[in-house]
Structure 1
Amino acid sequence: MNIRFLQTFVWVARLGSFRLTAEKLSTTQAAVSSRISVLENELGVQLFQRDSRGVSLTREGHKVLGYAEQMLATQQRLLQSLGQTDSFAGRLRIGVMDTVIHSWLSDLISAISRDYPQVEVELTADTALNLNEQLLKGHLDLIFQTDLVRADGVRNVQLASYPLSWVVAKGSPLDRSYASLSDLSQERLLTFSRLSRPHQDMLNFLHQQGVATPKVSCINSVAAIIKLVADGFGIGALPPVLVSRELHSQALVALPMEAPPGFAVFASWRVGAGLELNEAVVNLCQSVVADYQRSVSHDHFVLPGN
């Protein structure tokens, strides 16, 4: 029985789509359909039901899936025993939030290219809410964002925390002393996309400090927030690590005022037979993040347990 065909079967079962499986395996829908047909003929059973919503496993397909995953796991253990753990190849679909793009993502991509040269990385940048949804639907293999993803077949690990500061343009009308958070909240406050973890945490923080109706503008681009803060449009609640150059040059300054709590960034990835690359890249990512932390101010980028 062809291992590649079993891998195709497992991916169709996970993604519920011939098209998405073809994209994941860098092949065509016709090839995916052909492989499934060959398996069905070999086994003498129908593996999938097909309708307008996609494909789903038949009762026999569910039985075959367990054995197929075991066979793929056995193949991986065999490769490991032969010292071929560096034989990863194919497409890895990674989803990232904007904060990661502006900190250590390029270091991670360089490390993947170095350690796994046969792996093609496909990147999707989006909000945490959308990334979580795409991971659960099987459109992404691995995501970096601010929330734990609680679902069967998904694993999470915290990578780091990003403390926040109130940041303003140096010498602008907003660069002044503030008597209280209520005073500061009379100005326009810039934060991340609506309903994101930083946005919700900011609202909760201000509410706990007695600020009921702050002037908050939500922006889904870190670069846009930094630009607007630099132009004096508002006060940004930003991780200092993302504006270290601007702070060093004093184009921006951090206000000596208690800021909202920082946020954690998690890696969340799909687990199972044939998905060992996800785990390998997460391990690589932890090393990359540790190296990045050594290159910045430690109070601006905090590793778990520190």
Structure 2
Amino acid sequence: MNLRFLETFVWVARLKSFRLTADRLFTTQASVSSRIAALEADLGVKLLLRDSRGVSLTPEGSKVLEHAERMLETAKAMKQSLDSDRAKVGRIRLGVMDTVIHTWMSGLVAELSERYPQVEIELVADTALNLREQLQKGFLDLILQTDLLREQSIRSQDLARYPMGWVVAANSVYQRGYDSLAELGRERIVTFSKNSRPHQEVLTLLQAAGAQAPRLNCVNSVAAITRLLRDGFGIGALPPALVATELARGELVLLNGLPSPPSLELVVAWQTGVALVDEVVGVCRQVLERYAREVGEQRIVLA
């Protein structure tokens, strides 16, 4: 329903004059008449009566007026809320792991820039371990990484998890069937930085399956991992979401028939008492929910 038409109707009802309403809204009487006619056609009822004494409401018009005034007040409050957000100033120091950078980070930065155009966004990309240390020392306000933190001045919440998979270059020596994880573990495995949560979980998984001294090559850059896999360097243990384009083009493929590595957890952690940070956490959730709807549960699963 057109809010401009509702506004015009409300002013005609208040002023009881098409001419005065036209003056109030800086338009013409013909435009006022056209808006009222369109609103009546939309609702299927007669709202106003015009005679030699002026303008009056029909019984249906009285009912519509009450609802129209509430709708306009709601729209006004919403606009004031948005204007208040856009007037906010300050700085948010945001730390993100590489996995977020290569999936939904652009959408988050775009949303924050649109919602808080006068707020400075400092973005730091680093390993989860380093991000946690910087948050604990007060160098960052909010981080997106893999672990829940339990400290007095820090809050954290699970956001989602990225399903993991075994990824190889198409038509490489690694694109073949493996009878077990123990056999797979004899190959060169490429995964995230040393002592990160996914590195430790992949290592534990292979060792539990009987792999003797698995060769894990630890890389802290998703771009570097992707390039190494495309060049046939080894078998990647990483979320398919990170290489969705390469998988779609057929440059990389997923190995099937073996247990997948544990999912990569996504956790938001933030300093309490920092201006705007609670709101930014909410924006993170909204943007992530949109991303999850777009890519589906094979790529990311919301907490």
- Fold similarity call, TM over 0.5: yes
CA offsets per residue over residues 6-57 of structure 1, 9 Å max, x none?
Answer: xxxxxxxxxxxxxxxxxxxxxxxxxxxxxxxxxxxxxxxxxxxxxxxxxxxx
Partner of 2:43: none
8 Å CA contact 2:144, 2:268 repeated in 1: yes
Quick one: which amino acid aligns to residue 229 of structure 2? V
Whether the 8 Å CA contact 2:183–2:211 is kept in 1: the answer is: no
Q: Tell me the SS of whatever aligns to 1:93.
A: strand
Distance in 2 between residues matched to 1:158 and 1:278, nearest whole Å:
16
CA–CA distance in structure 1, aligned partners of residues 88 and 161 of structure 2: 30
Q: Secondary structure at the match of 1:300?
A: coil
Aligned residue in 1 for 2:171: 171
Query: 1:254-278 deviations in whole A, cap 9, x for unaligned?
Result: 0012121011111100012xx2401
Pairwise CA RMSD: 1.3
1:246 matched to which residue of 2? 246
Please name the residue that 1:268 is paired with: 269
Indicate the SS of the match to 2:276. Answer: helix
CA deviation after TM superposition for structure 1 residue 85, in Å:
4.9
Shift of 1:170: 0.4
Give 1:186's aligned residue. Answer: 186
SS at match of 1:217: strand
Distance 2:237 2:163 in 1: 10
Q: Which amino acid aligns with 1:175?
A: Q
Question: Paired residue for 2:143?
Answer: 143
Q: Secondary structure of the equivalent of 2:206?
A: helix
> Could you tell me whether the CA contact under 8 Å between 1:241 and 1:297 is conserved in 2?
no
Q: What is the distance in 1 between the residues matched to 2:122 and 2:295? A: 27
Per the TM alignment, residue 88 of structure 1 is displaced from its structure 2 partner at its CA by 2.5
CA apart distance, 1:297 = 2.8
Within a 5 Å distance, the mapping from 1:156-305 to structure 2 comes to: 156-256=156-256, 257-272=258-273, 275-304=274-303
**Structure 2 contact 239–264 (Cα < 8 Å) conserved:** no
Structure-2 residue corresponding to 1:108: 108
Displaced runs of 4 or more, over 2 A: 82-85
Bigger drift between 251-260 and 206-215 goes to 206-215
- Aligned partners of 1:187 and 1:234 also within 8 Å: yes
Once the two structures are TM-superposed, the CA of residue 212 in structure 1 deviates from its matched residue by 3.5
Distance in 2 between the 1:148 and 1:101 partners?
19
Q: 1:152, 1:290 → 2: CA distance?
A: 28
The count of aligned residue pairs is 221
- Number of the residue aligned with 1:6: none
Spell out, residue by residue over 1:269-294, the C-alpha distance to the aligned partner (whole angstroms, 9 max, x if none).
0012xx24011011011000000011
Query: Deviation per CA, 1:200-253, whole angstroms, max 9, x where unpaired?
Result: 111111122122410110000011001101100000011011111111111111
**What do the CA deviations read for 1:139-171 (whole angstroms, capped 9, x no partner)?**
000111001122111111111100100000000
TM-score scaled by length of structure 1: 0.70
Aligned letter for 1:261? P
| TM-score normalised by L of structure 2 | 0.71
Deviations 1:46-103 (A, max 9, x none): xxxxxxxxxxxxxxxxxxxxxxxxxxxxxxxxxxxx9575242111111110000000
Cα distance, 1:186 vs structure 2: 1.2
Residue aligned with 1:295, SS? helix
Give the corresponding residue for 2:124.
124
SS at match of 1:190: strand
| Partners of 1:147 and 1:298 in 2: CA distance | 21
* Identical columns (%): 51
CA distance in 1, matches of 2:119, 2:220: 29
Name which one, 1 or 2, has greater alpha-carbon Rg: 2
